[in-house]
Structure 1
Amino acid sequence: MNKRSPETTLIRDSGRGNEAAILNAALQAYGEKGFNGASMRDVARGANTSLSNLYNYFPSKSHLLAELLRRANSELLARTTAAIEAAGDDPVAKLRDAVKAYVGFVVDHQTAALVAISEVRYLTGEERSRVVDARDRTQSLFEQIVADGARTGVFATPYPKDAARSIVSLCSAISTWYRPGGRLSKKTLGEQHARYALALLEAPLTP
């Protein structure tokens, strides 16, 4: 797995020692080498800290991965929730802005988005459950919008829950192929995917 692009820093310094540097180094290592290929020594080297100090913060690679995905899910959820709340009551506007927010997150944090869909399989037990639950909260936002629109006749799809899941998958998959500097800007990519989502829901494609 290769790191795809320069992008917005996911973990910012909160004054908790080397934690932010460690998490960002872990994200880079997992993005470049995958969970299995990256070592705790790689992370310590990337964070410019000692291996023993790294273990003071995180006891294992899986703990690091779980915390990274928790942070990523938290930011994605916050962005999407804010976009939906600002869109008003119209399901079409809510869906369009939710998709744009999701796409914006993927473009800004492509490595984190890619790690989230490709490396979560390495988590087990309570760590995996917490990450999956957090991811499901974001999906539930889309499910609620689609359900409301289907109930009121704005969305004609007979498969609202399946359609919502497909929209989330469509957005997250951008992390696997997006290239910065290509023909699609973040704005254009968001608008296109909002249109794709509304077409999937058999909704009016108003500007």
Structure 2
Amino acid sequence: MSSTTQKLIIETARQEFAERGYGATSIRDIARRSGMSLSALYHYYPGKQELLRAIIDEGMDEYFHSCEEALAGAGDDPAGQLVALVEATVRFRAEHPSKSSITITEQRSLEPEHLAAYEARIAGATQQWAGIIQAGLDEGVFTTPHPEDARRAVIAMCNAVAQWYRPDGELGVDDLVERYVSLALTIVEYRPRGVVRRPAR
């Protein structure tokens, strides 16, 4: 498969889904926008569902990779790990809104077997956040009496960045990260033992 052609199809389908929604987009729309014939497009992807799965998988792969890189420099301190995950998530959502929005909202359009694989990956990510918050509680640096609610709140606010953030607005990504890190630490009721240092980028 030509990687160039594959990237063209994926990017075109992503734009169509982001602008019109999965349900309102047809394979013909994607083929027309990419300048390909229907038969040529079907040669690479047999249908719209396969395109959606490829788009979601690509977005999740990139996001999880960014989280892994951030955590690799965060050390063993739960507060540092939470800061790393918040920063990675906010940056990715702000810098890749289409990839983020489709991954978050169009999972409802996945067929059952594809949805099961998606949910398994999300469950793993959720457990990672939960594990960090629990570690903070165990070490006495997080004091929230509601860890599950805190986890949901932090993840939700970070993910929502993809829906509202605009790069031409008054708030830059670095400022946004600083604000959301502060909010996340407030939500988990962080009680520092010392200075939390953000991992070097």
TM-score by length of 1: 0.87
* Conserved 8 A contact 2:87-2:181: yes
The match for 1:97 among 61, 81, 84 is: 84
* Conserved 8 A contact 1:73-1:135: no
The count of corresponding residues between Structure 1 and Structure 2 is: 194
What is aligned with 2:143?
156
The match for 1:77 among 26, 42, 64 is: 64
Alignment of 1:115-134 (within 5 A): 115-134=102-121
Structure 2 residue identity aligned to 1:68: I
The match for 1:147 among 134, 148, 163 is: 134
* Conserved 8 A contact 1:39-1:61: yes
1:109-141 per-residue CA deviation (whole Å, 9 max, x = no partner) reads 101111122211111211111122222332222
Residues 1:16 and 2:16 are matched in the alignment: no
What is aligned with 1:195?
182
In structure 2, how many angstroms separate the alpha carbons of the residues matched to 1:77 and 1:32? 24
Runs of 4+ displaced beyond 6 Å: none
* Conserved 8 A contact 1:143-1:165: no
* Conserved 8 A contact 2:143-2:191: no
Unaligned 5+ runs, structure 1: 1-13
* Conserved 8 A contact 2:86-2:180: yes
What is aligned with 2:155?
168
In structure 1, how many angstroms separate the alpha carbons of the residues matched to 2:122 and 2:33? 27
Unaligned 5+ runs, structure 2: 197-201
1:162-199 per-residue CA deviation (whole Å, 9 max, x = no partner) reads 32222111111111111111111111111111111111
Q: Which has the larger radius of gyration?
A: 2
Structure 1 residue identity aligned to 2:59: A
What is aligned with 1:26?
13
1:143-180 per-residue CA deviation (whole Å, 9 max, x = no partner) reads 11111111111100122233222211111111111111
Percent identity (aligned): 32
Structure 2 residue identity aligned to 1:110: P
Which has the higher mean CA deviation after the structures are superposed, 145-154 or 40-49? 40-49
* Conserved 8 A contact 1:80-1:138: no
Root-mean-square deviation (Å): 1.7
The match for 2:34 among 40, 47, 51 is: 47
Which has the higher mean CA deviation after the structures are superposed, 130-139 or 184-193? 130-139
In structure 1, how many angstroms separate the alpha carbons of the residues matched to 2:75 and 2:102? 32
What is aligned with 1:109?
96
In structure 1, how many angstroms separate the alpha carbons of the residues matched to 2:73 and 2:170? 29
**SS of alignment partner, residue 76 of structure 1:** helix
TM-score by length of 2: 0.90
The match for 1:67 among 51, 54, 67 is: 54
Structure 1 residue identity aligned to 2:78: P
